[in-house]
């Protein structure tokens, strides 16, 4: 761990650290080293290729924000679905910010959508804020295109939370769903199936999207509550 921390501090960018810290109010600034994501991804790839990363994955909780991101980037490279899922399950409760949560996208999951969907159903009922957010993010990433079914909209619409980072992800999910599955998603706004804040934030994010037509944007603005 000390060697890894030494490597991370060698890549430190203090200006980036100060900027990034302002974007993550849930993370103590003292735990942010200030390593840019591309550099950390390169480090993670080299670390993974060496094959001696498993002891690091067992060292939870980590001390620094970048260590959590490194952990996420190592999980992303695991090609065996069951091993990847096992490491995910161990790691998710330790995620403490939106950035680490949203960066974590293991490619192997895309090849196991039926099994993943079962896991998502469990994650979105979790008591852990970022486990719920991750579950919604996976549904948004993999199930709004060819694998889409209208029941997935219900899964997210049923979530009720006071957590800002969960509600933001719900709004992001529905804004993305409007861009990809407009006709199926619009009734959730027309029938007011979402909490008011989430409803209005969905419209705001949809209107800001380049994937929504100007005509749709004009109409969506009339649905604000």
For residues 205 and 217, the answer to whether their CB atoms sit within 8 Å is: no
Report pLDDT for 54. 95
Q: What does the pLDDT look like over 38-75, one tens digit per residue?
A: 999 999 999 999 999 999 999 999 999 999 999 999 99
Distance separating the N- and C-terminal Cα atoms of the chain: 51
Instruction: Give the residue from 111, 130, 152 where a domain finishes.
Output: 111
> Mean pLDDT, to the nearest integer, of 182-206?
98
Question: Is the same domain home to 15 and 95?
Answer: yes
User: Which domain covers residue 26, as residue numbers?
Assistant: 1-111
- Helices 164-180, 196-207: crossing angle, 10 deg rounding: 50
For residues 74 and 59, the answer to whether their CB atoms sit within 8 Å is: no
Question: Is the same domain home to 17 and 86?
Answer: yes
Report pLDDT for 62. 96
Question: Is the same domain home to 137 and 90?
Answer: no
Query: Six-digit token pair at 82?
Result: 């069951």
Q: Which of 139, 137, 197, 189 is nearest to 167 (CA)?
A: 197
Global pTM value? 0.95
Question: Is the same domain home to 6 and 97?
Answer: yes
CATH code, 179:
1.25.40
CA–CA separation, 38 and 78 (whole Å): 19
Question: Is the same domain home to 82 and 122?
Answer: no
Determine the 3-state secondary structure of 97 from DSSP. coil
Instruction: Give the residue from 111, 136, 162 where a domain finishes.
Output: 111
Does position 2 have pLDDT exceeding 90, yes or no? no
Question: Is the same domain home to 74 and 157?
Answer: no
Report pLDDT for 1. 82
Question: Is the same domain home to 28 and 126?
Answer: no
For the chain, how many residues are written?
A: 225
Question: Is the same domain home to 119 and 196?
Answer: yes
Structurally, how many domains does the chain consist of?
2
Locus of tokens 């980072």 = 165
Question: Is the same domain home to 135 and 86?
Answer: no
Question: Is the same domain home to 119 and 39?
Answer: no
Does position 175 have pLDDT exceeding 90, yes or no? yes
Mean residue pLDDT across the chain: 96
Question: Is the same domain home to 107 and 118?
Answer: no
> Mean pLDDT, to the nearest integer, of 20-38?
94
CA-angle at 98, arms to 205 and 50, nearest 5°: 130
For residues 33 and 8, the answer to whether their CB atoms sit within 8 Å is: yes
Question: Is the same domain home to 106 and 151?
Answer: no
Q: What does the pLDDT look like over 129-166, one tens digit per residue?
A: 999 999 999 999 999 999 999 999 999 999 999 999 99
């Amino acid at each position: 761990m000390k060697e890894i921390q030494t490597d991370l501090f060698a890549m430190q960018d203090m200006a980036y650290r100060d900027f990034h810290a302002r974007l993550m109010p849930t993370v103590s600034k003292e735990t942010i080293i200030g390593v840019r994501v591309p550099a950390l991804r390169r480090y993670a790839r080299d670390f993974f290729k060496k094959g001696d990363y498993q002891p690091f994955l067992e060292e939870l909780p980590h001390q620094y924000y970048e260590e959590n991101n490194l952990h996420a980037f190592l999980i992303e490279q695991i090609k065996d679905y069951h091993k990847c899922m096992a490491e995910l399950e161990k790691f998710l409760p330790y995620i403490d910010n939106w950035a680490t949560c949203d960066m974590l996208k293991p490619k192997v999951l895309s090849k196991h959508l039926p099994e993943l969907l079962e896991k998502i159903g469990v994650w979105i009922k979790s008591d852990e804020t970022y486990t719920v957010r991750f579950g919604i993010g996976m549904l948004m990433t993999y199930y709004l295109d060819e694998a889409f079914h209208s029941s997935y909209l219900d899964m997210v619409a049923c979530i009720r939370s006071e957590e800002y980072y969960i509600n933001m992800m719900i709004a992001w999910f529905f804004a993305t769903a409007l861009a990809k599955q407009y006709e199926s998603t619009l009734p959730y706004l027309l029938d007011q199936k979402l909490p008011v804040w989430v409803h209005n934030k969905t419209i705001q994010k949809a209107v800001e999207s380049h994937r929504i037509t100007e005509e749709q944007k004009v109409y969506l603005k009339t649905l604000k509550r």
